[in-house]
Copies of this chain bind each other. A is one copy, B any other.
């Protein structure tokens, strides 16, 4: 299966966006700082998310990104497939030609697993995550840390 930092970053960034979305768009530089993700890399991810119609870019000063839909209408599986192309666990991409044009011995097993994963992640929306306690706590902590950083740069490290 393909669940790498790319997909994880995308979900994290979208959640950050959802959490900080009010009237004004959220700039990628802010998300990058809060979530410790390289800005250039985030730009690539948001390009895909925009093409997938999940976010809208607003250019110019005061610009940034906004969710195209309410947070509870965006589920995690969508986000990952938007940047990662697939949540599939088969070797053949579900085509069933894993062993010279025939399904391999375990083809059905991986198909079942893929569906399991997809269903799980499709059943969770950004809105769901926002309402979780642990996540609010983490988001809060990150906001506080951001303020400290904005003047004093990163301390010793």
A-side residues, CB < 8 A to B, are 1, 3, 5, 8, 11-12, 15-16, 35-36, 76, 89, 91, 99-100, 102-110, 112-113, 116-117, 120-121, 124, 129, 132, 134-135, 138-139, 141-142
Please, which residues of chain B bring their CB within 8 A of the CB of A16? 105
Q: Which residue of B lies closest to A109 (CB)?
A: B129
- Contact A108–B120 (Cβ < 8 Å): no
The CA of A90 and the CA of B120, in the complex, are separated in Å by 16
The CA of A8 and the CA of B108, in the complex, are separated in Å by 12
Please, which residues of chain B bring their CB within 8 A of the CB of A102? 138, 141
- Contact B5–A109 (Cβ < 8 Å): no
Q: Which residue of B lies closest to A119 (CB)?
A: B116
The CA of A129 and the CA of B104, in the complex, are separated in Å by 13
A3-B89, A35-B104, A36-B100 are known contacts; what are 18 more A-B pairs with Cβ within 8 Å?
A1-B1, A5-B91, A11-B106, A11-B109, A12-B104, A12-B106, A15-B105, A16-B105, A35-B105, A102-B138, A103-B138, A105-B135, A106-B135, A108-B134, A113-B117, A113-B120, A116-B117, A116-B120
- Chain B nearest CB from A91 CB (Å) reads 6
The CA of A117 and the CA of B3, in the complex, are separated in Å by 12
Please, which residues of chain B bring their CB within 8 A of the CB of A113? 3, 117, 120-121
